[in-house]
Structure 1
Amino acid sequence: MTSLYRSSIPEGMPVSETFELASVNTLLSQSGCTALRIYYGKKEDGTIHAILVGVNEKGEDITKGVILEEAQRCPPECPPDSLLNK
């Protein structure tokens, strides 16, 4: 799936985003968190970013807790080559 995406990547979309383990663990360890949801947002400069939010057992976003909006975005900061990104 990643190679198909990269072959027709829409302008402004990232190839990947890397979130710190400690931040993801904090998000997932929130009271009532049973899942993780990914939204996409756009900054004022037009760059698209993933936004991570916890989800409770009813499928509701946990919006009064931790929401992750900052990650290492590729490009420009890309990970080493792997089966998923080359």
Structure 2
Amino acid sequence: MATFNGTEGSTIELEQAVAWTANYRKEAITEPNGIVTKAHFYGRDILQKLLDQEGCMGIRMYYARDEKGQKQLVLVGADAEGNDMEGIVVDNGKVCPPDCDTQGNLNG
């Protein structure tokens, strides 16, 4: 079983992130509404609420589809043993499009 200490993940170069998001857009499946979901945004307060759970080492994000077939992300805290902390479960972030960055490189 994996153990988490809160340091998992690392930064990557912007150029790599731009290439990866472009790869995704090329291969993405159009959602039932005819739009490709590019991103989800979650505010600081809800992320902090997840992280503030006792014993939380980070956030796990599950890919999901809602009852309309729309791509979603479901977020839960994870403890040091890698177990989901299901006391707080998060979704309902702002979806891009329509809520997208208009100036950055990752949105293409």
Tell me how far apart the structure 2 counterparts of residues 18 and 79 of structure 1 sit (CA, whole Å).
Answer: 10
* Structure label with greater radius of gyration: 2
Consecutive unaligned residues in structure 1, runs of 5 or more: none
Question: Are 2:76 and 2:85, in contact at CA under 8 Å, matched by a contact in 1?
Answer: yes
1:72 aligned residue:
94
3-state DSSP class of the match of 1:62?
strand
Tell me how far apart the structure 2 counterparts of residues 11 and 83 of structure 1 sit (CA, whole Å).
Answer: 21
3-state DSSP class of the match of 1:41?
strand
Please, what is the CA RMSD of the aligned residues? 1.2
Query: TM (normalized to structure 1)?
Result: 0.89
Query: TM (normalized to structure 2)?
Result: 0.73
Consecutive unaligned residues in structure 2, runs of 5 or more: 1-19
Deviation at 1:81, TM superposition (A): 2.7
Tell me how far apart the structure 1 counterparts of residues 105 and 59 of structure 2 sit (CA, whole Å).
Answer: 24
1:24 aligned residue:
47
Question: Are 2:51 and 2:77, in contact at CA under 8 Å, matched by a contact in 1?
Answer: yes
1:62 aligned residue:
85
Within the alignment, does 1:51 sit opposite 2:70 as a pair? no
How many percent of aligned residue pairs carry the same amino acid? 29
